[in-house]
Amino acid sequence: MLFSASIRLFILNLARLLASPTQSCYVTCAWPKRCPAILRRVKLPDLLSAIGLGHDMTPPTNRFITPSLIIACGCLISMIAFGVRATGGLFVTPITETYGWGREIYGFAFAIQNLMWGIGQPLAGTFADRLGAVKVVLVGTLLYAAGLVVMAFGDTILLLNLGAGLLMGLGIAATSFSIIMPAFARMVPPEKRSWAFGMATAASSMGQLVFAPLGQAFISAFGWQIALVALAVFVALMIPLVLPFMAAKGQTSQTAAEEPSMALSAVITHAFGHTSYLLLIAGFFVCGFHLSFITVHFPPYIADLGLDKNLGSWAIGIIGLFNIIGAYASGIFGGKYSKRYGLSFIYLARAALIAVFISLPIGNVTVLLFAAILGLLWLSTIPLTIGLVTVMFGTRHMAMLYGFVFLSHQLGSFLGVWLGGRFYDQYGNYDLIWYTSIALGVVSAALHWPIRERTAPSFAMSPAQ
């Protein structure tokens, strides 16, 4: 009873602490006799400054729902949404062996997923810009969880495509960081946005770190079907996590409120008439190609080499671990230095890393070292890419315009995951897809270099505004 009461008191004190970002609040320890004196009274402004949140955050409209709480919930949503999706490669072998399917069949289902994610992203972004993130994420959660359940018990190719492909793809589109980040951007000033994007991306990587080994543990302990159901339960946890966003509806930073307003058709027309935006869209195609091919096909690739089957899941987890560092560092980098040059470096580094990896004898150490370095480059493109969209067009239509960029990413994902399976079934190895990944990395680095890192003329604020 004492422990339970202390937990409740701690939560109430934490809510009070987060609810007053401009006041010198203090938190009283639940067990004052057992706590050091320095922990009994914590000054809120110092705490908020320490984690990067200060008086320039948008003030809350609800005294218990603050920007810092919303960012925390948003990061958890990103972690679950991306983490569960990252387990896809773990189910290749058990599902194909159970039903006697080739890997191209499984790869095509996930290619559909990536395509539906891409098509659904600008639509979900448009609804989020107009109706808020809450309704979009709630619908997406239901679709996501339903897709996992259909994938678990569907014993035909049609049901696999429906569950793992259509339902999960649309569900991920409505729950991904592409919906969460615009909500962050509207609450923080421009100089904090890249940091906030890095936080959300790093949280997604934490999900990959957590769910890759967790998914493998579920498969080993309960079988692949129960493992998918268990993952659906985790997805359902996004419902309570998105509820605090209701209190943030209508909140915008001063800069966001001053952005020019224009009709939706005009926004799309002007955006697609901006050369730098088109270059960004083309270059992001390669990111999707790399990520989806490796996420789905790297674990079975490792198993084909005769290495421990658990090594593949740990490799995916290590990618997620090191991407926490890479994504957060990318967010910090984007707030201080050129985003386009950072993106060119990342894509060129990926190409060089893959070339070195496939040229060396592959063993446990090689795989883990490759995963660690790749992790630093994994989702580090996201804060810089979405940051460029914000620089060019502001935050008013950010979710929709980033959605179009992400559609290109998912077209690349479609080809990466499908061609990986097709080339394997046709040639018995992944060599051709590795070489293609190297070439595309070089092309993407060249595409990002000439991007102009400034506001698009049609979206610049006039002095009157």
CATH assignment of the domain containing 235: 1.20.1250.20
- Are 211 and 310 in the same domain? yes
Specify the range with the lowest mean pLDDT, choosing from 13-27, 282-296, 298-312, 442-456.
13-27
pLDDT band at 125 (very low <50, low <70, confident <90, very high): confident
* Mean pLDDT, residues 147-161: 93
Candidates 253, 278, 271; CA nearest to 457 is 271
- Are 36 and 138 in the same domain? no
| Residue 457 or 65, more confident | 457
- Are 155 and 231 in the same domain? yes
What is the pLDDT, as a whole number, of residue 355?
96
Instruction: Give alpha helix (H) positions in 273-308.
Output: 275-304
- Are 39 and 151 in the same domain? no
- Are 21 and 109 in the same domain? no
What is the pLDDT, as a whole number, of residue 26?
35
Q: Is pLDDT at 158 greater than 90 in this prediction?
A: yes
Place of tokens 């150490």: 365
What is the pLDDT, as a whole number, of residue 244?
83
- Are 39 and 127 in the same domain? no
Q: Is pLDDT at 43 greater than 70 in this prediction?
A: no
- Helix, strand, coil share (%) of the chain residues, nearest 5: 80, 0, 20
pLDDT, tens digit (0-9, with 9 covering 90-100), for 349-400 = 999 999 999 999 888 899 999 999 999 998 899 889 988 998 898 877 777 8
pLDDT band at 458 (very low <50, low <70, confident <90, very high): confident
- Are 307 and 166 in the same domain? yes
- Are 42 and 74 in the same domain? no
Into how many domains does the chain fold?
Answer: 2
Written as six digits, the tokens of 66 are 């603050």
* Residue 51: inside a domain: no
Q: Is pLDDT at 8 greater than 60 in this prediction?
A: no
* Residue 258: inside a domain: no
* Residue 9: inside a domain: no
Q: Is pLDDT at 247 greater than 80 in this prediction?
A: no
- Are 82 and 42 in the same domain? no
Q: Is pLDDT at 198 greater than 80 in this prediction?
A: no
* Residue 265: inside a domain: no
- Are 128 and 178 in the same domain? yes
- Are 25 and 137 in the same domain? no
SS3 track for 10-71: HHHHHHHHHHCCCCCCCCCCCCCCCCCHHHHCCCHHHHHHHCCCCCCCCCCCECCECHHHHH
Range of the domain at 21: 17-46
CA distances from 428 to 256, 304, 311, 385, 414 (A): 53, 10, 21, 35, 20
* Residue 189: inside a domain: yes
- Are 104 and 206 in the same domain? yes
